[in-house]
Amino acid sequence: MTTAPKLDTLCVNTIRTLSMDAVQAANSGHPGMPMGMADVAYVLWTKFLKHNPKNPKWFDRDRFVLSAGHGSMLLYSLLHLTGYEVSLKEIKNFRQLGSITPGHPEYGMTPGVETTTGPLGQGFGTGVGMAMAERFMAKTFNKEDHELIDHFTYAIVSDGDLMEGISHESASMAGHLKLNKLIYLYDSNKISIDGSTDLAFTDDSKKRFEAYGWDVQQIDGHNHEEIEQAIKKAQKTDTPSLIECKTTIGFGSPNKEGTAGSHGSPLGDDEIKLTKERLGWPYDEPFFIPDEAKNQMRKAVDNGKEWEEEWKSSLKEYENKYPADGVLFKKFVSRDMPEDWSEVIPEFEADPKGLATRNASKKVLDQMSDHIFNLVGGSADLTGSTKTDMDNKGIYSAEDYSGRNLHYGVREHGMAAALNGLALHGGIIPFGATFLVFSDYNKPSIRIAALSHIPSIFVFTHDSIGLGEDGPTHQPIEHLAALRATPNVAVFRPADANETSYSWKAAIENTDGPSVLVLTRQNLPTVDRNTYGKASGTEKGAYILKEASSGTPDLILMASGSEVEIIVKAAEQLEEKGVATRVVSMPCWELFDKQDDAYKSEVFPADVKARISIEAASPMGWLKYTGSEGIVIGIDRFGESAPYEEVYEELGLTAEKVVENGLSLTK
């Protein structure tokens, strides 16, 4: 039974009825969770959450994540009622084409939505990244006499979130880091789509999270006094907090509350009528909002304005007392790069022996991190292998949140979601690294980043059969195709050290979505740029590395990464045989596809049909560039455990193979 003053109960029931009406109007959705968590959400949003509905982006706001994204009508109801630019018309158009109230919350579409959620567990991990960012910014800028950064990250998480594997990775990491400004409200309703959670989920969540180092409380999620006291206590702990809120899914529905029937489908007209009668609500007016409830919740507008004005005054005072830090803070928040920052990125001398692009990346990182002070990143326990440590930048830890080297442990999925949270929070340019073969463990978070236009940077090394003896378990084949198939992901596979420099430059400058750097373990020759095309061509995605001797090619060879060396050698042999051969390096398909038609035609003239691509990966996708009359050389099987030169030979990725095919195309 809800225990709350009459006005509070009126507000809570407004949230419930708006949610059930919107789901009913859409004829799809999840009414049960919003109805069950309305009490908890109301107390949080009206008594604790520091936010400004008229400026959802002000920096020192609290962050709220609805990790249980299927309950999106809970969030949309709160946003509308507290005064965000989410109209009642948008509530009525829930889940409809062109509305800003999609089935699951989407960042960038709806004012007040802090992150895209829906795939369970993603919000849980993203919230951890936000809390990490808050601690970094606070440690970097707060002074003993001036606390500029001071906000919480709250999330509503579900039984389903806690079942997902990412919740283990992220909760373990948050506990290890003692992220005390992180408070998760767990909707413990014991119902999933299939029925009672007893079917599949009987964990002792309290013991589990205490083992991670979290403070855990268990409360009645319909008792406002208990909710309020629990949040107050959580705000004072020195660890992350989980508040397990025992709730009834579909609260108020006479026949469906506490059952799976209220989880993922409309209640139905008859049940809505019965529910509204039980709640003392008019049935004949869908989307009814009492004036008293609206006025109560719209107090958030004045409160938010006051909070923001107080913080702006604090910021102005801070800038006067600490002018250098004040300037730096604003640069961090606006992602304003230092002047001429790109000029510090190293240029590499021509070298036939060269170096692995992962090693080139390390040199680039060290140079950039000396000038970009909010470049923060690390790896999933592969720092030495991925070469992603930044010299003399400290380790981010519970003892020092200002460290810029992050150690995620063997938690690839948790790392990827945290990257998104770090980026979404603002003030930080984050990157995270692992082997390319383990990008599958990152993929759900990469997809969220792409959908949400989050500028997370993923560094994947050991990019092919070129890692050799570790064998097929660690040799990626299908991974490049999967990453490239994901909309709005910029995938860079540089062919040498200088392309690596420009790939990093492009990744830093890409603020519209995630960037992926795919790097080698084995050495690659550093191309002589006095003889071959300039590495700056990387910024166009593809460029002419070597022109045909006649100026007009009979054949075009194209590749990315380590296979560019192969086509350079093949071109030399083909030229000796009288075949005028152009060599095209294609480090980033996505950037090339964005170029104008004139540039595309300059690189790939329509009348040159003889084209060959080669890549130590799945051949999928290359036909777009070779055309139907061209030849695609790739790998359509798993690799072998052997020295990498032997594996290349065994799988037919050689200059000789390219020459053979080139001659057949130009007879």
Q: What is the 3-state secondary structure (H, E, C) of 333-373?
A: HHCCCCCCHHHHCCCCCCEEEEEEHHHHHHHHHHHHHCCCC
Amino acid 19 reads: S
Q: 127 pairs with which residues across the strands?
A: none
- Token reading at 30: 């999840």
Which residues participate in catalysis according to the annotation? 412
DSSP-derived 3-state class of residue 264: coil
Query: Which phi and psi angles does 388 have, rounded to 5°?
Result: -115, 15
Identify the burial level of 599 via C-beta atoms within 10 angstroms of its C-beta, where 0-12 means exposed, 13-18 middle and 19 or more buried. middle
Contact by Cβ (8 Å): 67, 155: yes
Among the listed residues 287, 260, 97, 275, the one whose alpha carbon sits nearest the alpha carbon of residue 191? 260
- Token reading at 28: 């799809």
| Terminal CA-CA length for the chain | 84
> What is the spatial distance between Cα 55 and Cα 61, in angstroms, rounded to a whole number?
10
Residues 6+ apart with CB under 8 A from 324: none
Contact by Cβ (8 Å): 478, 614: no
Contact by Cβ (8 Å): 240, 21: no
> What is the spatial distance between Cα 174 and Cα 166, in angstroms, rounded to a whole number?
12
Give me the helix-helix angle, 6-26 and 269-279, nearest 10°.
Answer: 170
DSSP-derived 3-state class of residue 313: helix
Q: How far is CA 418 from CA 113, 122, 215, 389, in A?
A: 17, 9, 21, 18
DSSP-derived 3-state class of residue 476: coil
Burial per residue of 486-523, b for 16 or more beta-carbon CB atoms within 10 angstroms, e otherwise: beebbbbbbbbbbbbbbbbbbbbebeebbbbbbbbbbb
Element (H, E) at 419: helix 412-425
> What is the spatial distance between Cα 303 and Cα 53, in angstroms, rounded to a whole number?
9
DSSP-derived 3-state class of residue 659: helix
